[in-house]
Amino acid sequence: MLEAGRARPVPTPETKHFWDGTRDGELRLQRCDDCTRPYFPPRPFCPVCGSRHVSVFKASGRAKLHSYVIHHRKVPGFTPPYAIAVVELAEGPRMMTNIVECPQTPEALVLDMDLEVTFTPMDEAITLPFFRPAKG
Ligand SMILES: [Zn+2]
């Protein structure tokens, strides 16, 4: 479903675990070993307490739709209308993403709706995580 022209993320040492995870079909977050807070996006220290004792763990992939905007303008890689969404992961952190397998309309995109992660390969190295309405 990916359209040509979409900007390609470039993994860095700090985000490598995340992109390795999506390629393997896992959504990976980090958690502070000192204050136990899960967080995203990837960084080598806890955004809450500043501790550098952090671990990577596999998230459930479940989320709720927190907010979104529907764009009606053509940009490379996207055919309008398309929604840019912020989802709240079951573990707590929020993530900017697209909602797929769902009409891009206010009637279909209901705040707090249950979502699940799905993975779409962009190329050999990069797989993008999107969210779709949870089944069942
Ligand atoms: Zn912490």
> Residue 55, class by beta-carbon neighbours within 10 Å (0-12 exposed, 13-18 middle, 19+ buried)?
exposed
Query: Whole-angstrom Cα distance, residue 41 to residue 19?
Result: 12
Give residue for tokens 């573990």: 91
3-class SS of residue 20:
helix
pLDDT in tens, 73-124: 888 888 899 999 999 999 999 999 999 999 999 999 999 999 999 999 999 9
pLDDT in tens, 33-47: 999 999 999 999 999
Q: For residue 15, report the distance from its CA to the centre of ligand 1, in Å.
A: 18
Q: For residue 39, report the distance from its CA to the centre of ligand 1, in Å.
A: 9
